[in-house]
Structure formats: structure tokens, C-alpha cells
A and B are shown apart, each in its own frame.
Chain A
Amino acid sequence: MRFQKRHIALILYILFLLLPIYWLFNMSIKTNSEILGAMTLFPDNPTLANYATILTDPAWYSGYINSMIYVAINVVISLAVALPAAYAFSRFNFVGDKHLFFWLLTNRMAPPAVFLLPFFQLYSSVGLFDTHIAVALAHCLFNVPLAVWILEGFMSGIPKEIDETAYIDGYSFPRFFGTIFIPLIRSGIGVTAFFCFMFSWVELLLARTLTSVDAKPIVATMTRTVSASGLDWGVLAAAGVLTIVPGALVIWFVRNYIAKGFAMGRV
């Protein structure tokens, strides 16, 4: 790789991206007196006390567990319902298919704020308020259309002859789908799961409105802490850093697929 002038620009841009994140990390390993006392680029006395606070206080760490649970449920539901639907969209014409597809996409584009109150009423009336499944279902509003969209792109890239050969060989649809088709689009499923994870993990408004205690996600814990006690910056920063970790891990695992997923142009 020859070093060129344009790489300097790239490095500068990445520095711009990383600086605020570094600052958050920097604050998370400082004591509160150092944060408020002086402007230091590197902490004088690095401490893990802020992280210890979070990992030992159930009010904090249960937030992470809750978030993980509803994100996982959401990814599973989204993939399970989107796989057959994406197959239908990529292989068949049927009455209203294009309008259905457009309608699904509008849900990806609709502002969650619009659905806030009805969701609250809906889940309260069926007794699902403050459960993980409620948040997972609410996030399906934008993740299912997204999953259908991405998967349809990947499936369209698989030649139809494969289906036909399999049917001639006497495969039933479920057997063909499970044993031949799904392995073929493994990378597509990976990319889809990544994006479902991403959008469910970063969402705050619905997750916060639909939970109060038992299923309270970490993102809600953070905003409520800010408004309540407010100024424990070190712990807040540590909590922030910990929310970045799962995302960073997931990116690392799918780094080679990301470009491909984006190449489908369907995020």
C-alpha cells in the first residue's frame, strides 16, 4: 500500500471520529475530582472504580442484560418472519406485491414518535407493558421491513435454477429452504442480523416508553440517571463506553461482510 496524500485526509477524518470516543473513555477512567478539576489529556490516576460501580450495581448492569435480551428476541423474530417473506418477494409475483413491499418500507421510514402513544396503550392493554417481548415487538416495526429488504437483495442474487433443480430432485419446500437455500445465503443472514442488532441496540425512544422497571434498557437507565442525580460524569462515561463494546465486537466479526451488505445498497 503506497502512502499518498489522500491517506492523510482519511487519517484526519478518522481522528475526528475517534476523538470524542477517546474523550469518553478517558473520562471513564478518571475520578470525578479529576474530571471537574483539570483538563488532562491522559488521566493522572487511571482508575477502574467507575466500571466497578456499574458491574456491581444491579440498577446498572441489569440494564445491559435487559437490552441484550430484547435485542436478541428482536433479531430472532425479525429473521424468522423475514426469511420466507423475502423468498416470496424475490421469487414470485403475487397480488399487491409491490404495494406490500412499499408499505413495509414506509414503516422503516415512519418516525417512531408517531407510534409512541398507541404502542404504550396497546401493550398496556394486553398486559405486555414493561416486558422484553414488548420492546422486541415494537422494534419489529422497523427491523422486519429492513430484514425483508436486505434479504430480498441477497436472495435475488441466487439463481433460480437452484430452486428448480431441487424441486425436480424431489425436495419439499421446507426441506429445500432449510438444507439448501439458507446455507447459500449465510452471509446475507449475517449482514441482516447485524443491521437488526444495530437498529434495535441504538434505539431509545420506544424502548424507554415501553418499559419502567423490569425490562428497563441500559439506554433508558443512562438518560434517567442524567436527569435524576445528574453529575456523576465518570460513571456515566463508563456506562457509555460499555454500550459501545457490544457494537464494536459485532462490527469486528462482520467486518468483511459490511461492505457487501452495503453493496446491496439496502440498509
Chain B
Amino acid sequence: MNKITNNKAWFLVLPVFFIVAISAIIPLMTVVNYSVQDIFDPQTRFFVGTEWFEQVLGDRRLHDALIRQIVYTMSVLLIEVPLGIAVALTLPRKGWGVSASMVLLALPLLIPWNVVGTIWQIFGRADIGLGGYVINMLGIDYNYSQNPMDAWVTVLVMDVWHWTSLIVLLCYAGLRSIPDAYYQAAKIDGASNWAVFRFIQLPKMQSVLVIGVLLRFMDSFMIYTEPFVLTGGGPGTATTFLSQFLVTIAVGQFDLGPAAAFSLIYFLIILLVCWVFYTVVMNAGKREEQ
């Protein structure tokens, strides 16, 4: 669609600009201010330059949290995206089953994040939770609050449980936009299921999939609440991801300077990834229009 150039449109955007500026720019400026000072209380503060940045960049705990975060985010994507596509392909195309599956699939998305944590906290316990009980019955020694590996797997399964539905719903929306005629033509040509998937279904899902991957990347990269409730970042630091680490410094120890420096680095990482994805999505969109 050709748009008219009209700078008066800024007036329509102003309310959004102001409300987001208040909640984004002012805090961001404050974070920058904190990051270059050693603050004891509002009256007693010293300019320390880039000391906090050097300290945070050289902090082993940060490196570990970052590596853990990247491994976790990659695992989340590698499991949820294929699983989401697979489930979307099994969904019925019409009938009462559509609404029913939609509602059931969307249910985990609407559960407050800490309740998701609580659900799995209970479900995974060997003494009172069905999941933990069954796994221990099978002869596997499973305890997510003691064994780092178990904790890590539990957090991962919880995330798959929580968010795969998002990918499913996105893919399903993409699949629905394929006209029936395509499938009939494929049938006449005697195309295999794989060929139908590869050449009809996957291309249609591509644009929504990119957005799904972007959303899952971002949200898993800033995951905080669920592991906080489930494991509190432990045992040890097995499930301490970036946000968890940041909140520990900022609120737990109230180290304003390092927390602010860390925030900025975190923000820069997000900004870069976000920009790359956005550019890719927008260019893909432009190519589609042509």
C-alpha cells in the first residue's frame, strides 16, 4: 500500500511516544548514570568511570551465566520449534476440534509465570508430585532441588510445556492460509507427505516461524520468573540465567553500579539481536511483496 507522507502523523504517535519514553528512556538514562558511579546513598556518590564495566566484563559468574543462558536458549529453540511445527501439523483443519484444541493449547500461555513455576514445582517433587513420583518409580533417581542436571532438565521441560503452544498457534495460522486446492493438486501429482510439507506447508509457515523464533529467543533470553519460583537459580548456580543473576545483584545485594553496567551490556546484546532479526524479517516481507 502506498502511504502518504504527512509529518502531522507525529501528533497521533505522540501519546505512545511519551508513555513509552517515560517508561523506557528515563529509566535507561538512569541506568547509564548509575553505571559510571559508586553510589552509597543519593548524597554520597563518586564518579568511577568505566570501572564497573571492566569489573562486570571480567566477572566469571557473568560469563558462566551468559554461557548457560545461550545453551538454554538454543535448547529451547531446538526443541520447541520442531515440536511446535509437528503439533501444528496434527491439528484438525475444521470441525469442533479446532476450537477445542485452540483453547486447550492456549491455556498454558495464560497462566501467570510464577504459577507455571509453582505447577512444576509441585508436579516435579518426588513426594507430592505426580511427575517426580512416576520418574522415581521407574527407578531413576530424580530430584530437581538437589541434582543440577535434573533441575536444568526440569526448567527446560517446563519451558517447552509453557511456550511450545505459541509456536503451534503461529504455525497453525500460517497453515490455515493454504488453500485446499494446493493439497488436491499435490494429491493428484502423487506428492509424498514430505514433499507436501517441504514445498507447500513450510514456505507458508516461514514468515510466522521467523516471528515465532524471534519471540521465543527474546523471551527465553530474559526468562526470570519460572526458574526463580522452581529452583531459585539453584542448586548452586545450575539454573541461574542472566535475568536471575541481574536481579540478584540489583535487588539482592543492591550493588547499583555493577547492576547498571550489567544491564547495559545485557541491553546491548538484546538490541543487536533484535535489530538483526527485525532487518531480516522486514527484508523478507519486502521480497514477498514484490
**Chain A residues close to B by CB (< 8 Å):** 1, 6-7, 9-10, 13-14, 16-21, 23-24, 27, 35-36, 39, 41, 77, 80-82, 84-85, 87-89, 91-95, 97, 100, 102, 104-119, 121-122, 137-138, 140-141, 144-145, 148, 156, 160, 198, 201-205, 209, 218-219, 222-223, 226, 233, 236-237, 240, 243-244, 247-248, 250-252, 255-256, 258-260, 262-263, 265-267
Within the complex, the shortest CB–CB distance from B162 to chain A, in Å, comes to 9
Who on chain B is nearest to A106 by CB? B274
Question: Pick the contact of A84 from B15, B30, B208 — CB < 8 Å?
Answer: B15
User: Are A223 and B22 within 8 A (Cβ)?
Assistant: no
Q: Which residues of B contact A203 (CB under 8 A)?
A: 112-113
Question: Pick the contact of B105 from A17, A23, A36 — CB < 8 Å?
Answer: A17
Given contacts A111-B243, A116-B251, A255-B99, contact A204 B20 (CB under 8 A): no
Instruction: Describe A's contact surface by its main secondary structure.
Output: helix
Q: Which residues of A contact B271 (CB under 8 A)?
A: 106
User: Are B27 and A198 within 8 A (Cβ)?
Assistant: no
Taken together as a complex, chains A and B put the C-alpha atoms of A267 and B96 apart, in Å, by: 25
- Per-residue contact bits, chain B 104-116, to A (CB 8 Å; 1 contact, 0 not): 1111111111110
Q: Which residues of B contact A198 (CB under 8 A)?
A: 109-110
User: Are A113 and B173 within 8 A (Cβ)?
Assistant: no
User: Are A114 and B266 within 8 A (Cβ)?
Assistant: yes
Q: Which residues of A contact B190 (CB under 8 A)?
A: none
10 A-B pairs besides A205-B224, A266-B211 with CB distance below 8 A are: A110-B222, A111-B270, A118-B26, A122-B26, A122-B30, A141-B23, A144-B20, A198-B110, A203-B113, A248-B110
User: Are B250 and A117 within 8 A (Cβ)?
Assistant: yes
Given contacts A1-B97, A23-B123, contact A111 B266 (CB under 8 A): yes
Q: Which residues of A contact B278 (CB under 8 A)?
A: 102, 105
Q: Which residues of A contact B97 (CB under 8 A)?
A: 1
Q: Which of B109, B114, B211 counts the most A-chain CB atoms under 10 A from its CB?
A: B114
Please list 18 pairs of residues, one from A and one from B, whose beta carbons are closer than 8 Å in the complex, sorted by A's number: A20-B161, A21-B108, A23-B119, A23-B130, A36-B127, A81-B15, A84-B15, A104-B16, A117-B34, A118-B28, A118-B30, A138-B23, A156-B1, A203-B112, A219-B112, A222-B118, A251-B106, A267-B215
